[in-house]
């Protein structure tokens, strides 16, 4: 008999392979033809690389500075080659970088007159403890199964000391497992906030969740293969409509429809969720067959009971003190 943990791990392997398909074919051994040279094939052989290449050209022209996060070390190396191919200045931080080199890269990027356009990071290595407010744009090339890790990574730029509006961009491959992970991540965040009143999440997915993700992803892929695929080059006007305008000095223009006290990443997750009618709100409390509305009600009742007991205890103490004084 397989344990829950073993079953989950056995399903994670094909999911990781599917995520590689979404990022770049060169993540698989034997796909890139020898000799291994930098060239346009690095961009043209991946849909994400094509979009990223177009995004970087637009952001560089507008005067923005960018943090790029990915889960995969090998994909980060490919992106580094693309950035070098286009002649952009960049630094890279991942699990292989020494502590001294790590600090040097951060200091160079944070200098007031720094000309470094791109900072490349893996989500795990660069997601905690860094201050990278020199950037005003964050690009996530893929999704972490735990949405809190991505939030922590975005906070490297969107933190105390940041004097510019921050734009968070996520690249999601249509009709792939990434769309499903994105949807589940949004529901996880909303569920944790509604039930627990907190943003914390353990990031663990059950074998039932993972199985559903795999089957739904394969179904969507089969449907997409039956359709004609056409490539469209995004124009500057289209990118401006999607991302927003840029003021002088490379500052994002804050839109009037932005919600207060909600970061851009959270806005996107909320916007990408389903409608907020009563039926949807009820479904948010249902997870793996358990109705967490009952759990929430029980916790609230227990808290109220503790509060009442404490108040009654204080009242009894006051009565005893008055009797002693008399």
**According to the model, what pLDDT value does residue 128 have?**
73
Contact between 63 and 115 (Cβ < 8 Å): no
Residues 27 and 153 in one domain: yes
Share of the chain above pLDDT 90, in %: 33
Pick the more confident residue, 260 or 100: 100
158 lies in the same domain as 297 = no
Listed range (24-33, 77-86, 102-111, 229-238) with the worst mean pLDDT: 229-238
Same domain for 111 and 185:
yes
Euclidean distance between CA atoms 283 and 276, whole angstroms: 10
pLDDT, tens only, 283-299: 444 444 445 456 556 65
Select the more confidently predicted residue: 70 or 267.
70
Shared domain for 203 and 66, answered yes or no, is yes
pLDDT at 316: 62
Q: Are residues 136 and 259 in the same domain?
A: yes
Split into its structural domains, the chain has a count of: 2
Q: Which tops the pLDDT comparison, 6 or 37?
A: 37
Are residues 125 and 47 part of one domain? yes
Residue numbers of the domain that contains 301: 291-325
Per DSSP (E only), the strands in the chain are 66-70, 90-93, 118-122, 137-140, 167-170, 246-247, 251-252, 286-287, 290-291
Angle in degrees, CA 270, 68, 159, rounded to 5:
65
**% of the chain with per-residue pLDDT over 70:** 62
Query: pLDDT tens for residues 59-97?
Result: 999 999 999 999 999 999 999 999 999 999 999 998 888
Say if residue 152 is in the same domain as residue 32.
Answer: yes
Residue 155: count of CB within 10 angstroms of its CB:
19
Residue-level length of the chain: 326
User: Domain check: are 110 and 254 in the same one?
Assistant: yes
315 shares its domain with 216: no
Phi/psi region, residue 34 (left: phi>0; alpha: psi -120 to 50; beta: rest), is: beta
What are φ and ψ of residue 261, in 5° steps? 65, 20
The CATH number of the domain holding residue 145 is: 3.40.50.300
129 within 8 A of 93, measured Cβ to Cβ: no
Please, what is the average pLDDT of the chain?
76
Q: 168 and 207 share a domain?
A: yes
pLDDT of 323 reads 58
Residues 87 and 108 in one domain: yes
């Amino acid at each position: 008999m397989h344990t829950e943990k073993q079953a989950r791990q056995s399903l994670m392997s094909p999911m990781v392979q599917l995520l590689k398909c979404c990022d770049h074919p060169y993540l698989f051994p034997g796909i890139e033809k020898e000799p291994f040279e930098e060239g346009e094939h690095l961009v043209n052989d991946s849909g994400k690389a094509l979009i990223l290449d177009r995004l970087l050209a637009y952001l560089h022209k507008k005067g923005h500075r960018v943090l790029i996060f990915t889960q995969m070390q090998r994909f980060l190396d490919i992106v580094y080659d693309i950035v070098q191919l286009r002649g952009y200045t960049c630094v890279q931080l991942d699990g292989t970088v020494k502590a001294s080199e790590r600090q040097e890269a951060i200091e160079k990027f944070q200098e007031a007159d720094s000309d470094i356009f791109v900072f490349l990071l893996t989500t795990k290595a660069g997601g905690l403890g860094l201050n990278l407010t020199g950037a005003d744009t964050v690009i996530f090339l893929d999704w972490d199964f735990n949405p809190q890790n991505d939030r922590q990574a975005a906070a490297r730029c969107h933190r105390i000391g940041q004097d510019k509006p921050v734009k968070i961009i996520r690249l999601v491959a249509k009709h792939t497992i990434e769309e499903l992970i994105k949807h589940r991540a949004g529901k996880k965040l909303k569920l944790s906030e509604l039930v627990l009143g907190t943003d914390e999440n353990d990031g663990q997915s059950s074998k039932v969740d993972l199985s559903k993700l795999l089957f739904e992803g394969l179904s969507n892929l089969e449907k997409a293969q039956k359709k004609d695929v056409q490539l469209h080059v995004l124009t500057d006007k289209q990118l401006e409509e999607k991302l927003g305008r840029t003021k002088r000095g490379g500052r994002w223009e804050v839109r009037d429809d932005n919600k207060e006290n909600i970061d851009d990443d959270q806005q996107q997750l909320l916007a990408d969720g389903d409608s907020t009618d009563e039926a949807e709100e009820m479904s948010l409390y249902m997870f793996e067959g358990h109705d967490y509305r009952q759990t929430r009600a029980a916790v609230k009742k227990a808290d109220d009971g503790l509060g009442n007991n404490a108040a009654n205890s204080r009242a009894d103490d006051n009565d005893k003190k008055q009797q002693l004084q008399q």
